[in-house]
Amino acid sequence: MHTKSIKELSKLLHKKTISCVELTKIFLERMEKYDSKLNSFITVTDELALIQAKNADKRIAENKTTPLTGIPIAHKDLFCTKDIKTSCGSKILDNFISPYEATMTNKLKQAGMILLGKTNMDEFAMGSSNENSFYGHVCNPWNLQNVPGGSSGGSAAAVAAYLTPVATGTDTGGSIRQPASYCNLTGIKPTYGRISRFGMVAFASSLDQAGPMATSAEDAAILLNHMSGFDVQDSTSMQEPVLDYTATLNNSLKGVTIGLPKEYFDENLTTGVAVKIDNVLTELERLGAKLKEITLPHSKLSAPAYYIIAPAECSSNLARFDGVRYGYRCKNPLDLEDLYARSRGEGFGDEVKRRIMVGTYALSSGYYDAYYLKAQKIRRLIADDFKRAYEDVDIILSPTTPTPSFAIGNSSQTPIEMYLNDIYTIPANLAGLPALSMPAGFTEGLPIGVQLIGNYFKEANLLNIAHQYQQVTDWHQQIPEGF
**Which among 133, 148, 86 is positioned nearest to 349, based on CA atoms?**
133
Q: How far is the CB of 61 from ligand GLN (least distance, A)?
A: 41
Do the bridges between strand 209-214 and strand 186-189 make them parallel or antiparallel, or are there none, so unpaired?
A: antiparallel
Q: What's the Cα-to-Cα distance from 34 to each of 12, 31, 37, 274, 482, rounded to whole Å?
A: 25, 5, 6, 33, 9
User: Which residues, listed in sequence order, are joined to residue 454 by a DSSP beta bridge?
Assistant: 395
Cα–Cα distance measured from residue 460 to residue 450, given in angstroms and rounded to the nearest whole number:
17
Nearer to ligand GLN, 279 or 403 (CB): 403
Active-site position among 76, 107, 118, 189: 76
User: Which residues, listed in sequence order, are joined to residue 189 by a DSSP beta bridge?
Assistant: 435
> First-to-last CA distance in the chain?
13
Active-site position among 40, 87, 129, 151: 151
Q: How far is the CB of 175 from ligand GLN (least distance, A)?
A: 3
Active-site position among 98, 175, 302, 343: 175
Q: Which stretch binds ligand GLN (CB under 6 A): 19-27, 119-127, 297-305, 453-461?
A: 119-127
Assess contact for 91 and 169: CB atoms under 8 A.
no
Q: How far is the CB of 50 from ligand GLN (least distance, A)?
A: 32
The residue within the footprint of ligand GLN, chosen from 13, 163, 214, 310 (CB under 6 A), is: 310
Count, residues in the chain: 483
Assess contact for 160 and 184: CB atoms under 8 A.
yes
Cα–Cα distance measured from residue 356 to residue 354, given in angstroms and rounded to the nearest whole number:
6
151 an active-site residue?
yes
Cα–Cα distance measured from residue 413 to residue 426, given in angstroms and rounded to the nearest whole number:
20
Nearer to ligand GLN, 151 or 455 (CB): 151
302 an active-site residue?
no
Q: Which positions from 409 to 438 touch ligand GLN by CB under 6 A, shown as an x/- string?
A: -------------x----------------
Nearer to ligand GLN, 112 or 174 (CB): 174
Q: Which positions from 141 to 180 touch ligand GLN by CB under 6 A, shown as an x/- string?
A: ----------x-------------------xxxxx-----
Nearer to ligand GLN, 307 or 321 (CB): 307
DSSP at 481: T
Nearer to ligand GLN, 68 or 156 (CB): 156
Q: Which positions from 196 to 235 touch ligand GLN by CB under 6 A, shown as an x/- string?
A: -------x--------------------------------
Q: Is 405 a residue that touches ligand GLN (CB under 6 A)? A: no
Q: What are phi and psi of 333, to 5 degrees?
A: -65, 140
Q: How far is the CB of 379 from ligand GLN (least distance, A)?
A: 15
175 an active-site residue?
yes
Nearer to ligand GLN, 203 or 469 (CB): 203
Q: Is 315 a residue that touches ligand GLN (CB under 6 A)? A: no
Cβ contacts of 289 within 8 Å, gap of 6 or more: 253, 254, 256, 257, 258, 465
Q: How far is the CB of 161 from ligand GLN (least distance, A)?
A: 22
The residue within the footprint of ligand GLN, chosen from 125, 163, 393, 408 (CB under 6 A), is: 125
Sign of CA dihedral 249, 250, 256, 262: positive
Q: How far is the CB of 339 from ligand GLN (least distance, A)?
A: 29
Q: How far is the CB of 172 from ligand GLN (least distance, A)?
A: 3
- Count helices and strands (H / E) in the chain: 15, 11
Cα–Cα distance measured from residue 26 to residue 276, given in angstroms and rounded to the nearest whole number:
35
The residue within the footprint of ligand GLN, chosen from 31, 126, 185, 253 (CB under 6 A), is: 126
Nearer to ligand GLN, 232 or 416 (CB): 416
> What is the three-class DSSP state of 391?
coil
Q: What's the Cα-to-Cα distance from 230 to each of 192, 194, 203, 434, rounded to whole Å?
A: 12, 7, 21, 16
Q: How far is the CB of 272 from ligand GLN (least distance, A)?
A: 21
**Which among 96, 132, 212 is positioned nearest to 165, based on CA atoms?**
212
Assess contact for 355 and 311: CB atoms under 8 A.
yes
The residue within the footprint of ligand GLN, chosen from 72, 117, 127, 259 (CB under 6 A), is: 127
Q: How far is the CB of 7 from ligand GLN (least distance, A)?
A: 29
Cα–Cα distance measured from residue 193 to residue 208, given in angstroms and rounded to the nearest whole number:
9
Assess contact for 122 and 130: CB atoms under 8 A.
yes
Nearer to ligand GLN, 127 or 441 (CB): 127
Q: How many residues bind ligand GLN (CB under 6 A)?
A: 13
The residue within the footprint of ligand GLN, chosen from 128, 133, 143, 343 (CB under 6 A), is: 128
Assess contact for 174 and 14: CB atoms under 8 A.
no
Nearer to ligand GLN, 424 or 475 (CB): 424
Q: Which residues would be at the binding site for ligand GLN (CB under 6 A)?
A: 125-128, 151, 171-175, 203, 310, 422
**Residue numbers annotated as active site:** 76, 151, 175
